[in-house]
Structures are given as structure tokens and as C-alpha cells.
Amino acid sequence: METATVLARVEWADSGQGAGAMLYDPRSLPEPGPQWLLPGTYGERARPVAVGGRQSAWFVDGAFGAGVLRGYRRGGLAARVSRQSYLWQGEARTRSVAEVRLLAQLRAAGVRVPAPIAGGYWRTGMTYRAAILIARIPGVHTLTERVLAGPLSHRVAHAVGTAIADMHRAGVWHADLNAFNILLDEQGDAWLIDFDRGRYGAVAPNERRNNLLRLRRSLDKVAGPAGIAAWEGIDAAYRTAWDSHH
């Protein structure tokens, strides 16, 4: 897997939606600009992602190949105020820029995550809107789908547990490690997705455990006893993978 991603930056003036900027991979996006972060650019070729995304994610195709475009949307009580706007606290703290950087760091560490193509924002006064474009991983299905299809094999449990251990070893905490944010490809490898609100730095033992317990709750919710059985295999694989490097 090619891992290193060297990011470049471009900014743009206000053209009616707010001034903004993006971080992008110049190898994947040789002609950067805000248009790549707008679903309207792709017309009917932008296909909504059915699972997750809060109705704000699309499968898209461009010069960069196959991608997934996701607009950042609030949930819960905050959505009653604004679903798309966030408080401006500086570029480094925008959801999109932070996630692009996190993905680049994870890939540099050899963790299986989607390649970041671009992430940017539009600022208006003290608020901003944001979107991210990542490479689409071919031939994948969610851990949820795999668990509902039958018991996990030792190989799949090992792949998932090892991927989570690799993430923690790289110093990253996942804000929402659930069964929909773990993908399995045709080779049986596990990929981790959706690092919005993730954090880079030392991951304490209780934080590592909380990530795994969040996954347990998710699997229990979608598959009941079969989900718990799958989690137990993943948890055992995680412990083995973690202990083997410590």
C-alpha cells in the first residue's frame, strides 16, 4: 500500500459562498479548487451514499479516480441551530483540515485508511462550512454487513483487531469507532474510515479500551449475540496485536 501523502495548500476569494482554502494531494488533484468539494460539480454522476453520512456523502468520479465526497453536518441538538455551520477557531481546527492531516499521518504510519484527496472550508464571519474528498476503496463492505452474513473467521477478526491496534500505535484515537466505520476488502484486509473529530497524540489505555467498547456497543446494536461474539474475536486479536509490539 502506498502510504506517504504530501499535502499542498491553495486558497480562494469569496465568490458568494465565502472565502476559503483547502489542503490537497497534488498527485491526485493537479488542478485544485473549491469546485471539487461541491456535489453540484459532478451533476448526476454524484451518487448518494446510502449508509451513514447524514445525507451529505456522495460517490463521485473525477481526474482523481473514484472518490467519496462528504460534507460536514451536525447531529443532535446542535443541528437545530445549523446543520452545516461550525464556529471558526482557526484553519488548523476546521473539521476538514484536521481530518485530512490525520489521514495523511495514518497512511505515513502504514495504517489502512482512505487516501485523502482534498479537504477544505468556506468561511463567513465567525462560522465556516467544510467538506472532504477521499479516495474510494474498491470492493469493500462494512463490518456490519460481514457480521450479519455469518460468524467472523479468525482471519477477519485478526485483520480488524490488528487495524485498530495499528491505529492506536500510530497515536490516533477514533471519535466514533463503530461497525459501519470498519470496511473489509476482497483480500480480507480491514480499513478504518471517518476520522472526523479524531485526535492525534498519545492514546491512553482507557481511551484505547473505550474505542473497543464503542465498537462492542455498535456490534451489539446491529447484530445482538452474533455481534458480541464477533467483538470478542476482534478484542482478542487486538490484544494479541498490541502485546506483540509492547
Instruction: Convert the pLDDT of each residue in 94-122 to its tens digit.
Output: 999 999 999 999 999 999 999 999 999 99
Q: Domain ends where: 135, 161, 191?
A: 135
CATH code assigned at 200:
1.10.510.10
Tell whether 28 and 100 lie within a shared domain.
Answer: yes
If you average pLDDT over every residue of the chain, what do you get?
92
What is the CB-side half-sphere exposure of residue 234 using CA atoms within 13 A? 30
Q: What is the pLDDT of residue 82?
A: 55
Q: Domain ends where: 101, 135, 169?
A: 135
Question: 241: part of which helix (H) or strand (E)?
Answer: helix 225-243
Write out the catalytic residue numbers: 176
Tell whether 57 and 107 lie within a shared domain.
Answer: yes
Q: Is 2 inside any structural domain? A: no
Closest CA to 21 of 79, 87, 97, 72: 97
Tell whether 158 and 126 lie within a shared domain.
Answer: no
Tell whether 163 and 230 lie within a shared domain.
Answer: yes
Q: Domain ends where: 135, 161, 179?
A: 135
What is the CB-side half-sphere exposure of residue 113 using CA atoms within 13 A? 30
Q: What is the mean pLDDT of residues 132-154?
A: 96
The band of 52, judged by pLDDT with boundaries at 50, 70 and 90, is low
Enter the pTM of the model. 0.93
Instruction: Convert the pLDDT of each residue in 175-196 to its tens digit.
Output: 999 999 999 999 999 999 999 9
Q: What is the mean pLDDT of residues 83-94?
A: 91
Number of domains in the chain: 2
Tell me: pLDDT of 78 over 90. no
Domain span including residue 123: 8-135
